[in-house]
Chain A
Amino acid sequence: MGVKNNQHFYRKLHSLLGIIPVGIFMTVHLLVNYSAVWGIDSYNKAANFMVNLPFKYFLELFVIFLPLLFHGIYGVAIALQAKNNIGTYHYGRNWKFFFQRITGLIAFVFIIWHVWETKIQVEFNGVEANYHLMAGIVDNGIALTLYIIGILSCIYHFVNGIWTFLITWGITASPKSQKVTEYIAIGLFFVLTFVGIRAILAFA
């Protein structure tokens, strides 16, 4: 039962977990953050709702942390396996392949940092998870810039991941369907970027 013998299963699991639940969770997360645009109270209310969900630890473990850890660690292994060749082959989709790996690595580091500050500190050091915690983190230009890079990387990785997911599972086979889903992915990128960036700027 080595990793190699079950490569097919692990790759498919990696592809699936990236969308369900990790990508879905990220979208919900960005939407909850957006409530900060409407003011401190509305954000604290939305965050409270998430924090007080029943079976929170169970949900966090199985909907967020385990899938995210598997997707992240296995994904880093996949990313490091590629011999990127955008220097020779300048095709658009080869660039997207390259960026999928770069943004994945950035997202991996960003999420570790983000979880450390907003989760581990909250659980173990008694920090309260509210608007002020986040506002304190991004009150300097460097942290805010790193957050924006992290958010953009996560969004790119997710929308391009949807596009490759549809191919990997055999849903979009024809060049035309792959073109159409490419445009949809680009549209989704701008929508999520709007939501994510406006939300983080509401804290700054």
Chain B
Amino acid sequence: MVEMDRKIHLIITRQKDAHSEPYKEEFLVPYRPNMNIISALMEIQKNAVNAKGEKTTPVIWESVCLEEVCGACSMVINGKPRQACSTLIDQLTEPITLAPMSTFPVIRDLMVDRQRMFDALKRVRAWVPIDGTYDLGPGPRMPEKTRQWAYELSKCMTCGCCLEACPNVNNKSTFIGPAPLSQVRLFNAHPTGAMHKEERLTAIMGDGGITACGNSQNCVQVCPKGIPLTTSIAQVNRQVTKWSFKRFFG
């Protein structure tokens, strides 16, 4: 086969640890049909030799599900944030550049710490509280029409692509980013979750909340799950407007 000798050219932005300077290292890995970024990285793991033929350390990345539902393997591939698992080598132009997402602190190489997103989910109370000291019984039903769009919002996997693309999420701003705002809409739409609607709205009316959105709408373009993030933000804006009037005028 002609394909046998083909090598994939990777240029990877690496970093030894959280505190050291990033550097670029190039790799040539043997091609196989239907490879994704993860399988290319696994080739480096098997044989950690860079393009110059020097022995090096294997490139570190994070991945869990390998089917684009966990959000762990997000990285900047050819300039855009995507999942390494669902990005196929055959669909990319070479050389392929891999870099960690710049919005998050780098732990090592392509592995970043997305803790700020989980903190934001806690801050906006992105859950439905159902615990009690006794059986509270079944809650109200969700209309099928609501369920259909709510399901789309529930696909958010906290991958961080929307934060990476947002010009207003950066180290000069405290903006929590699009993903948690969409979760506010999701949990406020849930018939039982709606019982705590005002708590979530109040949470995003604080510092770095919904008003820090500047409507660049990059988030909806890069979301790998196709979540209508800008519609969510505008809908939550509407809830916030109503709630702030209600809170002030009574």
Contact = CB atoms under 8 A, between A and B. Distances in A.
Interface of A: 4-5, 7-8, 11-12, 15, 78, 80-85, 88-89, 91, 93-94, 96-98, 100, 163-164, 167-175, 178
Given A7-B206, A11-B211, A173-B235, 8 more contacts: A8-B207, A81-B170, A82-B170, A83-B170, A164-B214, A164-B215, A169-B238, A174-B231
A93 B206 CA distance: 26
Contact of B168 (A4, A81, A168, A170): A81
A83 to B, nearest CB: 4
B13 interface: no
Given A94-B218, A170-B234, A82 B168 contact: yes
Given A8-B205, A88-B80, A178 B234 contact: yes
Contact of B209 (A7, A83, A93, A96): A7
Nearest to A3: B207
B74 interface: no
B165 A89 contact: yes
Contacts of A169: 237-238, 241
A8 B218 contact: no
Does more than half of chain A's interface fall in helix, strand or loop, or is it mixed? helix
B56 interface: no
B22 interface: no
B235 A93 contact: no
B217 interface: yes
Contacts of A164: 214-215
A148 B210 CA distance: 35
Contacts of A7: 206-209, 211-212
- Closest 4 A-B residue pairs measured CB to CB? A170-B238, A11-B211, A97-B216, A170-B237
B231 A83 contact: no
A169 B242 CA distance: 9
Contacts of A5: 207
Contacts of B79: 88
Nearest to A5: B207
A83 B211 contact: no
A168 B212 CA distance: 10
A8 B206 contact: yes
B125 to A, nearest CB: 17
B105 interface: no
Nearest to A4: B207
B215 A97 contact: yes
Given A11-B212, A169-B241, A84 B218 contact: no
A85 to B, nearest CB: 5
A97 B220 CA distance: 14
Nearest to B216: A97
B217 to A, nearest CB: 4
B222 interface: yes
A126 B196 CA distance: 62
Interface string B214-234: 111110011000001011011
6 contacts: A7-B212, A81-B168, A81-B170, A93-B217, A167-B233, A172-B234
A183 B236 CA distance: 24
Contacts of B207: 4-5, 7-8
Contacts of B239: 170
A97 B239 CA distance: 24
B238 A8 contact: no
B248 to A, nearest CB: 11
A91 B209 CA distance: 24
